[in-house]
Amino acid sequence: MDAVLKSLPLRASSEPKRPTQAEVEAAVRTLLLWAGDNPEREGLLDTPMRVAKAYKEMFDGYNKDPAEELGRTFEEVEGYQDMVIERDILFHSHCEHHMVPIIGRAHVGYLPDGKVVGLSKLARVVDIFAHRLQTQEAMTAQVANTIQDTLKPRGVAVILEAEHMCMAMRGIRKQGATTLTSTFTGVFADSPDDQIRFMTLLRTSSKA
């Protein structure tokens, strides 16, 4: 199978200069004091270091370009033009309002226009956007629009379903409530029949 390699520009960054490791650890100690604990007790001595390391892993999406993940496509698909769907992509993110977890799954589909992308790349795009501070609505649109703008398929369908810890752990404290969001582009946006077929395939697959 022949691969088409595309060179894509990296995402321009206007982010402020990041603090040093020492500054991050000092900030964590401040939060521990504010919470009412003692950062000098044995169980918390290494917590600032661990938190800094964990944040570097959980928010590594800021260091990656999702469009770059879609840069390698395959055109030798025997004329395949029907839906490609990757369902149940598990993800974890963090709410940008309270910085607590969002736990969910994504279902991503597209109608190719002569070329396809490796299925793992769809999951990577989801993870890159998930590993940033997010709202579910914005993340849904970001995943769909990146695939549409980069691959230029005939259409993209993205559905996210997730539980928000900012709703389960604080405020109204409703555990188990799930939020669903969707974005449709191209043919999916113009054709309710294609939206229905996408949803039907998701339900059929879940019962298999």
Fold held by 21-58:
GTP Cyclohydrolase I; Chain A, domain 1 (1.10.286)
Can 92 be counted among the known catalytic residues?
Answer: no
Q: What are the φ and ψ backbone dihedral angles of 96, each rounded to 5 degrees?
A: -75, -10
Query: What CATH number should be reported for the domain whose range is 73-207?
Result: 3.30.1130.10
Give me the pLDDT at residue 133, please: 98
The active-site residue out of 134, 136, 142, 148 is: 136
Of 64, 61, 68, whose CA–CA distance to 147 is shortest? 68
pLDDT confidence tier of residue 205, bands split at 50, 70 and 90:
low
Query: In the sheet that 155-164 helps form, which strands lie side by side, from edge to edge?
Result: 133-134, 84-95, 101-111, 155-164, 179-186
The active-site residue out of 86, 92, 98, 161 is: 98
Mean pLDDT score, 84-88: 95
Can 78 be counted among the known catalytic residues?
Answer: no
Give me the pLDDT at residue 79, please: 80
In the chain, the percentage of residues whose pLDDT exceeds 70 is 91
User: Which residue in this structure is represented by tokens 């033009």?
Assistant: 81
User: Which residue in this structure is represented by tokens 């977890």?
Assistant: 101
Can 97 be counted among the known catalytic residues?
Answer: yes
Give me the pLDDT at residue 25, please: 98
- Binding-site members for Zn(2+) are 95, 98, 166
Q: Is the pLDDT of residue 20 over 70?
A: yes
Q: Where are the alpha helices (DSSP H) in the chain?
A: 21-35, 47-58, 66-69, 119-130, 136-151, 165-168, 187-190, 192-207
Amino acid at 88: D
Q: Where are the domains of the chain?
A: 21-58, 73-207
Q: Is the pLDDT of residue 113 over 70?
A: yes
